[in-house]
Amino acid sequence: MKAAVFYEPKKPLKVEEVETPKITSKEVLVRIKACGICGGDVQRVDGLMKVKTPIILGHEPAGIIDEVGSEVKGFSVGERVFIKSVMTCGGCYYCRIGRDNLCDEVAGILGITQNGCYAEYVKVFPSQLYKLPENVSLEAGAIISGPCGTAFHAVTMAKVSVGNSAVVYGTGCVGTLTIQILKLSGVKVIAVDVESKKLEMARKLGADEVINAREEDPVKKVKELTDGMGADVAFEVIGNVKTIEQAINSVRKGGTAVDVGSVIGSINLNMTPFNPAEGINISNERILMSVSDFTRSDATKLLSIARQGKINFDLGTAKAALDEVNKGFEIKRSGKHLRVLIVP
């Protein structure tokens, strides 16, 4: 089969012929039809994140089942699926209580610990597969498998309620999906970014208010838009120290700040600010929460919502053929498109 192999940081991926994976009786072979380029993959290629090489990257895929192992039940050749990249054990404490995204015995991660999906085929376990509804495209499936699953999980963990207010820092792919899911939950949404075009898209997708952080202090503006209290919840989807600090400072007392972007770095955090009017320190009881990936329960609920056509997956997606994978990475780096897919 054809695949894009990553050999060395700061060097182009090499598209070459490699052996097609051979499945065991307990595995499934999927022909990849779309795989998203994740910002993490760009960082790996650019040498900012380490991964053992050589490896086939790509961990946000969807495709069509090509072969099914003799012991596999519930899946058939020709079915359209999206693939969860993480191979969970199914038996540890976290898997048993429905928090499989926190699995203690992860067997592997596509495109990170073993060959992934910038390729024509990949072999996986049936536990990684989710059948796509007929009215949900394979390209949408590749979005669900990555950014949309993460966005849905983040909103679920934040436990938002109808009438809550939320601020989303970053209106890229994950941010715009987070906005849409929040609106489905009956939440007033404030979107923050530094690019006017992205903010325009955020408003079209449901944001009630938008703030250009180049032009005004987002924390101050959020307070103004929430009667001086701050938002009930804030989502940071960029992975930046400055914006996670702004997100934390944008929520009210007792509110929740959610780190979706996986911030790496030291955060200036003050949970008991000095109140000059009182002359004392009073804890604001804010919650700072990190999130990771999504659960099987999340996927089931998200697919139901997608089946009903309640999420707009047309985010101005750019596509590149497998032979042009490096061009796809350049498009991703340019930031001109919210989503870039490799379509073998």
Quick check: 74 pLDDT over 90? yes
Q: Is residue 174 part of a domain?
A: yes
> What is the rounded average pLDDT of the residues 47-59?
95
Q: Is residue 215 part of a domain?
A: yes
Residue identified by tokens 């070459």 is 16
| Ordered DSSP codes for 213-259 | TTTS-HHHHHHHHTTTS-EEEEEE-S--HHHHHHHHHHEEEEEEEEE
**Local structure of 86: helix, strand or coil:** strand
Q: Is residue 194 part of a domain?
A: yes
| Domain match, 286 and 154 both | yes
| Domain match, 210 and 324 both | no
Report d(CA 195, CA 197) in Å as an integer: 6
| Domain match, 29 and 51 both | yes
For the stretch 7-37, pLDDT in tens is 999 999 999 999 999 999 999 999 999 999 9
**Local structure of 298: helix, strand or coil:** helix
Helix axes of 173-184 and 196-204: crossing angle, nearest 10 degrees? 30
Quick check: 271 pLDDT over 90? no
Number of domains in the chain: 2
Q: Is residue 144 part of a domain?
A: no
| Domain match, 80 and 34 both | yes
Quick check: 139 pLDDT over 70? yes
pLDDT of residue 86: 96
User: Which of 252, 275, 290 marks a domain boundary?
Assistant: 290
| Domain match, 333 and 253 both | no
Q: Is residue 298 part of a domain?
A: no
234 forms beta bridges with 167, 257
Report d(CA 92, CA 297) in Å as an integer: 17
> What is the rounded average pLDDT of the residues 156-165?
96
Cβ pair 37, 340 in contact under 8 A: yes
Half-sphere exposure at residue 256, Cβ-oriented, CA atoms within 13 angstroms: 19
Quick check: 174 pLDDT over 80? yes
| Domain match, 36 and 128 both | yes
pLDDT of residue 268: 79
pLDDT of residue 275: 58
CATH code assigned at 158: 3.40.50.720
| Domain match, 169 and 249 both | yes
Report d(CA 299, CA 150) in Å as an integer: 10
pLDDT of residue 314: 87
Please report the sign of the dihedral spanned by the C-alpha atoms of residue 151, residue 154, residue 155, residue 156: positive
pLDDT of residue 335: 86
Q: Is residue 45 part of a domain?
A: yes
Q: Is residue 305 part of a domain?
A: no
| Domain match, 45 and 158 both | no
Q: Which domain holds residue 190?
A: 150-290
The tokens describing 52, both together, are: 């053992």
| Domain match, 49 and 175 both | no
Quick check: 75 pLDDT over 90? yes
| Domain match, 83 and 186 both | no
For the stretch 209-261, pLDDT in tens is 999 999 999 999 999 999 999 999 999 999 999 999 999 999 999 999 999 99
| Domain match, 129 and 179 both | no
CATH code assigned at 89: 3.90.180.10
> What is the rounded average pLDDT of the residues 184-206?
96
pLDDT of residue 172: 92
Q: Is residue 297 part of a domain?
A: no
| Domain match, 105 and 158 both | no
Higher pLDDT, 281 or 263: 263
For the stretch 80-121, pLDDT in tens is 999 999 999 999 999 999 999 999 999 999 999 999 999 999
> What confidence category does residue 277 fall into, taking pLDDT thresholds of 50, 70 and 90?
low
Quick check: 332 pLDDT over 80? yes
Query: Which of 297, 336, 294, 340 has the alpha carbon at shortest distance from 317?
Result: 340
Cβ pair 215, 192 in contact under 8 A: no
Quick check: 281 pLDDT over 80? no
